[in-house]
Structure 1
């Protein structure tokens, strides 16, 4: 499974979100794919004010301030 996280450079919330996702990776098997929204106009338009954005299997799970408990619940749901 993959978790996509949309970020941009110099984004403290993005750094926090990546740290949370990496922490969850210790207990769950998934790949983290980081996508910088500034490299793609479509992503910038779609997620510009929402970042960080966490996506699992094409579904936006959370954005802004990321809650590790909510992400872990979704991981369990998608792994079953």
Structure 2
């Protein structure tokens, strides 16, 4: 039992934090944001959510005027532009807490 909890913690701690990018096409600000995120690609799992898809209607209703929007590990992080200081701080926190 102890070994399984250690293994589970190890697997969790080696996973990179998930950064969701809420976007649509075209979105020039989203393109700028993706370029700004290039230095962080080794630290996060970047996943894009196209808010114009029918299954993402709730995100469209919430963010249509505010993209790009970013969530880190399921929590709102920032919108409109990449705030590198905030991103680095939250990534450091996620890494040290194993989230």
Q: Do the structures match in fold with TM over 0.5? A: yes
Unaligned segments of structure 2, at least 5 residues: 1-16
- TM-score for both structures, normalised by structure 1: 0.87
Residue 15 of structure 1 is aligned with which of 25, 31, 41? Answer: 31
Runs of 5+ consecutive residues of structure 1 not aligned to the other structure: none
Tell me if 1:38 matches 2:52.
yes
TM-score by length of 2: 0.72
Q: Distance in 2 between matches of 1:75 and 1:24?
A: 10
Inter-partner Cα distance in structure 1 for 2:29 and 2:93: 25
Runs of 4+ in 1 over 6 A off after TM superposition: none
The structure having more radius of gyration, on CA atoms, is: 2
Task: Kindly indicate which of the two structures has a greater share of residues assigned to helix.
Answer: 2
Please report the RMSD computed on the Cα atoms of aligned residues, expressed in angstroms: 1.2
Q: Does the residue aligned with 2:76 lie in a helix, a strand or coil?
A: strand
Q: The residue matched to 1:38 in structure 2 has which SS?
A: coil
Structure number with the higher strand fraction is 1
Instruction: Select 1:48's aligned residue among 64, 68, 93.
Output: 64
